[in-house]
Amino acid sequence: MTRRFSLPFNMTRFAKWLLVGSVFLYLYVPIAVLVANGFNEHKYGTEWRGFTLKWFEKLWHNTNLMDAAGHSLVVAVSSATLATLLGALGAIAMYRYDFRGKKFMGGLVFVEMMSPDIVLAIAFLLIFMALGISLGFWSLLLAHTTFCLPFTIITVFSRLNNFDNSVLDAARDLGASEWTAVRKILLPMSAPALIAGWLLSFTLSLDDVIISSFVSGPGYEILPIRVFSLVKIGVSPEVNVLATLMLVLSLTLVLLSQWILKRK
Amino acid sequence: MNVKKWCALLALVGVNGLAQAGEQVVVYNWSEYIPEDTLQEFKKETGIEVVYSTYESNETLYTKLKLMKGAGYDVVVPSTYYLNKMAKEGLLQKVDKTKLPNFTNLDPDLLNKPFDPNNEYSVPYLWGSTGIGINVKNIPKDSITGWQDFWNPKFKNQLLLTDDVREVFHMALRIKGHSANTTDEAQIKEAYEYLKELMPNVLVFNSDAPREPFLSGDVSLGMIWNGSVVQSREDDPNLQYIYPKEGAVFWMDSFVIPSGAKNVANAHKFINYMLKAEVAKVCVEYVGYATPNKAGKALLDDATRSDPVIFPDKATLDAGEFHNDVGDAVLIYDKYWQLLKAGK
Amino acid sequence: MTRPDPFRWISILPVNLWLWLWVLLPTLLVVIVSFASRDPAELIAWDFTFDNYTRLADPLYLQVFWHSLWLAGITALLCLLLGFPFAWWLARLRPGPRALALFLIIIPFWTNSLIRTYAIKLILGKQGLINTVLLQMGIVETPLDLLYTPFAVVFGLVYILFPFMVLPLYSNLEKLDHSLIEAARDLGAGRWQVLRQIVIPLTMPGIVAGTLIVFLPAMGMFYISDLLGGAKNLLVGNVVRNQFLSSMDWPFGSAISITLIVLMGLLMLAYFQASKRINRAGGIHDSTL
């Protein structure tokens, strides 16, 4: 086979690996610093004072921080999933159907992306109070799903955008129901975008502070707020250790799933 | 769909976290501003569970309580002028001192301040100051005595200021001989004009924790919280603290009970517990700020008790100022703050 | 025309209802509030006024808007320049390594942003990693001022928004039909011609999506600029936050927010109109977004 398809950039091997290498370096050097400081004797990490596991041990006893991390994961997984589900439906609707208010829907997605966090935060809290939704898991889920939604809609829609609608119509003419046609053709087709949208949503949800601090309640603390409110006494390296654990966990899961896929 | 099942399962786990019954008190505070062990001890002694929730700024605390009309939390810990503002707007209820026998442990010098006369609404928890931080390795300590030294042209592009309008204006207002609580536009404008001259010297307005740029060697002079210096002394003794001669910014974080609190009796029990001498001592050792608790201070070791950075003498205290709510003058401050930042 | 089918409604209704309740309703509230007056005790006084909008004519706010736009624009551009070739590489990988690489891009962002920013400060600082290396290698004599400069802000913004560019781009490039490129090459098209006339038009939806996802949120971001840039400049996000949380001037904050949305909307519209005219064959019908 000719490898000519990669020619538009004529990336020589060197240029290619230079690019990929520098991007990963850019992404991971700060992470390396962060991880190193989880094991640094120096509390403020401005210089290396020797290896220690004391922060690890402290974290182990800090149940509040661990609980908050658990809550954050639960909220992030559920809101990313819900946002991807809703977003995929929305993107399919925009791609496949003509309906009144389609442009309006696009407008709302835009408005949502442009609304400053603090405005959304206050609006959400007011609506939750008006509807009598108590602050906790559900309010977080609703709010996070909402601010993730534009990202999933845009990602999936851009993937479907140039796809030829007539393939679906052909399937319909052959007697497939709309749902079957969508499931058999559009969903597999948008899989990479679904994954991309989910990952982006998960990332956004995991790190949100402003909106969450307004819509979370006393019984259900999440990690970013817990960490940001540490500034009064100083962020301790325990947080770095916690981040390291999450990195290790996610890397293990990824490598494990790779291995399983390969075995299949 | 598998995903749905997972989602439902996770949602259930999420809801379980909420299911709590029995006696409790809901505390809204900075993260780890009260040692976890203290909260556990309180539960052991009284059977009341502390639900500890956190906020990352006074602004968030205030706005959230305002929106929720003072409901949702039993004890909150606002700083000086936010407490003032909240009391004025009816977001707080008066504390019942008959339920606080330990109130007498508090130092009368730190009670009855202008932001809450007679402590009708608040019980002081910790207090501290914003003064001058200096890295004595790079700048001789005795060359700096007050805010005025910040204006020295040799510090071009080197200073750290806190990203707090009231604290930054405090410096200029005090130098010009005004109160840091002024609501007079002419005085604020005068301070603004003077601060404009300071701007070329400013390297950074720090919005999270002022200690870290000092420790990393990026700044050697600027504003800092006294507690930050105390906490980092062990790691870096070169970072030291100076009370400026024009007067430091003092602040106090106090326990208050929001007007819509559900567990008022438990809130009092909790506050009373926090006023115990032994508890106050533990909190100072843990957090590094000063306690207004005289009985608690007496239990501290000599070095801590006589540390002038943590516990300044009365003259230093009187020279400084606690910030008050300035009411609508906040608009004037914010206006000049914007102008200062936009460089106009 | 397709036959009427329940799925049509399943796809249209939930997301629209969701957007009406959680986006339209709050936005309408904000619009209404933007015509009210400030009242420090009650937050909002219900007397109708245009003042909040006329106040925005102050050149100060123009400067703030311009600065935010500039930062967001340069960030989106750098993300695109870095992200496009990277996404291209990603899309060309075999499925196994591709999934791995995809995760490796996003995993750094599952750490808390505050400590991640601290780590960046430790890299850019006077005694930070970059300066230490440069000094050791004798490339510079005195440490460079990197931290608390516009460079640091852009460094941080591109850092946190990079995956938001790469992922949508990747999901678009992945479906690119390479036979088209080969055909064009066989017909003698040059490298640039292929890039300009085939690759870019075909991947335009991805470029637009990635740019939107990076550019729009970057407009409102102020946290990175405050921490890494030293908070010496005001951004739109700072001003809005201050109105809501510090000045307690909700009507004015609402007016800023609405103006921002309208201005950006007009900007987007103008952009899409222009690109439609220039690129009629390009197949960009994203003007709905």
- In tens, the pLDDT along B302-326 reads 999 999 999 999 999 999 999 989 9
pLDDT band (50, 70, 90) for residue C287:
very low
Q: How far apart are CA A156 and CA A171, in angstroms?
A: 21
Q: How far apart are CA A212 and CA A226, in angstroms?
A: 11
* Residue of B62, B68, B57, B64 lying closest to B84 (CA atoms): B62
Interface of C with A in 99-158 (CB under 8 A): 99-100, 102-116, 118-120, 122-123, 127, 129
Same domain, B246 and B214: yes
In this prediction, residues B187-216 reach a mean pLDDT of 94
Instruction: Work out how many domains chain B is built from and give that number.
Output: 2
Which string of DSSP letters, residue by residue, matches C221-238?
--HHHHHHH-S-S--HHH
Interface of A with C in 67-106 (CB under 8 A): 86-87, 89-90, 92-94, 96-97, 99, 101-103, 105-106
Nearest chain A Cα distance for residue B53, angstroms: 5
pLDDT of residue C278: 65
pLDDT of residue B21: 56
* CB pair distance less than 8 Å for A46 and C122: yes
In this prediction, residues C199-216 reach a mean pLDDT of 90
* CB pair distance less than 8 Å for C181 and A8: yes
* CB pair distance less than 8 Å for C113 and A224: yes
Chosen from A233, A235, A238, A239 to mutate, greatest number of chain B CBs within 10 A:
A233
**CB-count exposure of residue C147 (10 Å: 0-12, 13-18, 19+):** buried
* CB pair distance less than 8 Å for A64 and B3: no
Same domain, B265 and B232: no
CB of C231 closer than 8 Å to CB of B163: yes
Same domain, B77 and B202: no
* CB pair distance less than 8 Å for C121 and B216: yes
pLDDT of residue B231: 87
- In tens, the pLDDT along A203-255 reads 999 999 999 999 999 889 999 999 999 988 888 899 999 999 999 999 998 88
Identify all chain A residues contacting C244, using CB atoms and an 8 Å cutoff: 118-119, 122
- In tens, the pLDDT along C72-109 reads 999 999 999 999 999 999 998 988 888 889 999 999 99
- C144 contacts: CB under 8 Å, gap ≥ 6: C130, C131, C134
DSSP state of B106: B
C174, pLDDT greater than 90: no
C281, pLDDT greater than 50: no
The packing angle between helices C250-278 and C59-92, to 10°, is 50
* CB pair distance less than 8 Å for A78 and B14: yes
pLDDT of residue A198: 95
Chosen from C247, C250, C252, C256 to mutate, greatest number of chain B CBs within 10 A:
C247
- In tens, the pLDDT along A100-119 reads 889 999 999 999 999 999 99
Distances (CA, A) of A157 to A84, A91, B266, C19: 12, 5, 53, 16
Q: Which chain B residue's Cα is nearest to C64?
A: B342
- In tens, the pLDDT along A57-89 reads 999 988 889 999 999 999 999 999 999 999 999
pLDDT of residue C199: 86
**Which chains does A contact via 3+ CB–CB distances below 8 A?**
B, C
pLDDT of residue A163: 80
Interface of C with A in 148-207 (CB under 8 A): 159, 162-164, 167-168, 170-172, 174-175, 178, 181-182, 185, 191, 194-195, 199, 202, 205-206
Identify all chain B residues contacting C59, using CB atoms and an 8 Å cutoff: 344
pLDDT band (50, 70, 90) for residue C191:
confident
Nearest chain C Cα distance for residue A220, angstroms: 18
Nearest chain C Cα distance for residue B314, angstroms: 32
Same domain, B146 and B184: yes
Same domain, B110 and B167: no
Segment among A173-177, B32-36, B253-257 with least mean pLDDT: A173-177
**Which chains does B contact via 3+ CB–CB distances below 8 A?**
A, C
Segment among B253-262, C31-40, C172-181 with least mean pLDDT: C172-181
pLDDT of residue C280: 57
C26, pLDDT greater than 50: yes
C142, pLDDT greater than 80: yes
Same domain, B120 and B179: no
pLDDT band (50, 70, 90) for residue C197:
confident
pLDDT of residue A15: 85
pLDDT of residue A43: 87
Q: Where are the beta strands (DSSP E) in B199-279?
A: 202-206, 221-225, 239-242, 249-258
Here the CATH number for the domain that contains residue B304 is 3.40.190.10
Share of chain B above pLDDT 70, in %: 94
Chosen from C51, C148, C250 to mutate, greatest number of chain B CBs within 10 A:
C148
Same domain, B184 and B305: no
In this prediction, residues C217-235 reach a mean pLDDT of 90
DSSP state of A133: P
pLDDT of residue C284: 40
* CB pair distance less than 8 Å for A154 and C115: no
pLDDT band (50, 70, 90) for residue B207:
confident
Same domain, B231 and B99: no
Q: What domain range includes position B275?
A: 3-127+252-311
* CB pair distance less than 8 Å for B341 and C233: yes
* CB pair distance less than 8 Å for C213 and A235: no
pLDDT band (50, 70, 90) for residue A171:
confident
Does domain C59-281 match CATH 3.10.20.30? no
Nearest chain A Cα distance for residue B107, angstroms: 24
Q: How far apart are CA B256 and CA B79, in angstroms?
A: 10
Identify all chain C residues contacting A182, using CB atoms and an 8 Å cutoff: 7, 11
Chosen from A23, A119, A239 to mutate, greatest number of chain C CBs within 10 A:
A119
- Closest partner residue to B207 among C125, C147, C231, by Cβ? C231
A7, pLDDT greater than 60: no
Same domain, B240 and B282: no
pLDDT of residue C9: 87
Segment among B4-8, B102-106, B182-186 with least mean pLDDT: B4-8
Q: Where are the beta strands (DSSP E) in chain B?
A: 24-29, 49-54, 75-76, 92-93, 122-135, 159-162, 202-206, 221-225, 239-242, 249-258, 321-322
C135, pLDDT greater than 80: yes
Tell me if chain C has a CB within 8 Å of the CB of A16: yes
Tell me if chain C has a CB within 8 Å of the CB of A142: yes
- In tens, the pLDDT along B106-132 reads 999 999 999 999 999 999 999 999 999
Q: Look up residue C199 and give its two tokens.
A: 């690759």
- Closest partner residue to C232 among B202, B218, B344, by Cβ? B202
C176, pLDDT greater than 80: yes
Tell me if chain C has a CB within 8 Å of the CB of A206: yes
CB of A40 closer than 8 Å to CB of A52: yes
- Closest partner residue to A8 among C20, C112, C191, by Cβ? C191
Nearest chain C Cα distance for residue A33, angstroms: 6
Q: How many CA atoms lie within 13 A of B321 on its CB side?
A: 21
Q: Where are the beta strands (DSSP E) in B39-82?
A: 49-54, 75-76
What is the residue-averaged pLDDT of chain B? 91
Q: Look up residue C116 and give its two tokens.
A: 């991640």
Share of chain A above pLDDT 70, in %: 95
DSSP state of B238: T
pLDDT of residue C282: 44
Helix H or strand E encompassing C43: strand C43-45
* Residue of B128, B127, B126, B125 lying closest to B272 (CA atoms): B125
Same domain, B215 and B287: no
Tell me if chain C has a CB within 8 Å of the CB of A113: yes
Same domain, B190 and B257: no
Task: Evaluate if pTM is beyond 0.80.
Answer: yes
Q: How far apart are CA A54 and CA A41, in angstroms?
A: 8
* CB pair distance less than 8 Å for B206 and C43: no
Tell me if chain C has a CB within 8 Å of the CB of B330: yes
Nearest chain B Cα distance for residue C188, angstroms: 49
- In tens, the pLDDT along A126-157 reads 999 999 999 999 999 999 999 999 999 999 99
What is the residue-averaged pLDDT of chain C? 88
B7, pLDDT greater than 80: no
Same domain, B186 and B46: no
Interface of A with B in 43-62 (CB under 8 A): 43-44, 46, 62
- A214 contacts: CB under 8 Å, gap ≥ 6: A121, A122, A124, A125, B60, B63, B64, B67
* CB pair distance less than 8 Å for A42 and B68: no
Interface of C with A in 21-40 (CB under 8 A): 21-27, 29-30
| Dihedral in degrees, nearest 10, Cα atoms B106, B107, B113, B117 | 50
Share of chain C above pLDDT 90, in %: 60
- A245 contacts: CB under 8 Å, gap ≥ 6: none
| Dihedral in degrees, nearest 10, Cα atoms C82, C88, C94, C100 | 30
pLDDT of residue B235: 85
Identify all chain A residues contacting C242, using CB atoms and an 8 Å cutoff: none
CB of B147 closer than 8 Å to CB of B175: yes
pLDDT band (50, 70, 90) for residue A170:
confident
